[in-house]
Amino acid sequence: MVKPVSRREFLYLLWGGSAGVLAMGACGITARILSPQMRIGFDKEWVPVDTQTLLLRYPSLVAMRLWVSNGPSGLFAFYTWCPNKRDLTQYAWNNANNRFECPACGSKFKPNGEWIEGPAPRGLDRHRMRLTLRGQSTIEVFEYAQVNPANVESLIVDTTRVVMGTRRPETA
């Protein structure tokens, strides 16, 4: 036979359960505050890029959060986090397939940032660039630039703002 719970025991259980719920909530809030957050930009607003990386035939990773890609489609500065918000993963360049690939979700992107396949909702996000061409003035570029890399005197990337990639086509 089960012994009935007295009023004192009931209040102890109620108080202990309430304290446990309060402690769990405090731990959850503390963990949320202390966990690293995905930041859009860097500590510095403008990140200079070595112009020698523009002469390479494959994209270059700059400062661990910035891909600079120069190809037939033009010059791009991509934000390195996968646009699929379910995973906070940096995608990588796959030299064998000549495309960007996310190791977590499997999304694939062309060298110009367009979506090929995978769960990502759009193409790669881009950074704004400031180019100085030899013998010419400085120009600001928001999407991409069609320039000869040998003519680029300096390249600076604005990492505080991100231009969202184009939405992927809806499939039937």
Query: How do beta strands 115-117 and 138-141 pair?
Result: unpaired
pLDDT of residue 116: 93
Determine which of 1-5, 6-10, 16-20 has the lowest per-residue pLDDT on average.
1-5
Question: pLDDT tens-digit profile of 51-63?
Answer: 887 777 778 887 6
- From residue 169, alpha-carbon distances to 44, 83, 100, 108, 111 in Å are 35, 15, 18, 14, 18
Q: Which residue has the higher pLDDT, 67 or 142?
A: 67
pLDDT of residue 56: 78
Mean pLDDT of 83-89: 72
Q: Please, which pLDDT band fits residue 21 given cuts at 50, 70 and 90? A: very high
pLDDT of residue 172: 41
Question: pLDDT tens-digit profile of 26-52?
Answer: 998 888 777 655 555 555 577 788 888
CB atoms within 10 A of CB 74: 15
- The CATH class, in words, for 46-163 is mainly beta
Q: Do the beta carbons of residue 157 and residue 127 sit within 8 Å?
A: yes
The Cα 67–Cα 133 span in angstroms is: 20
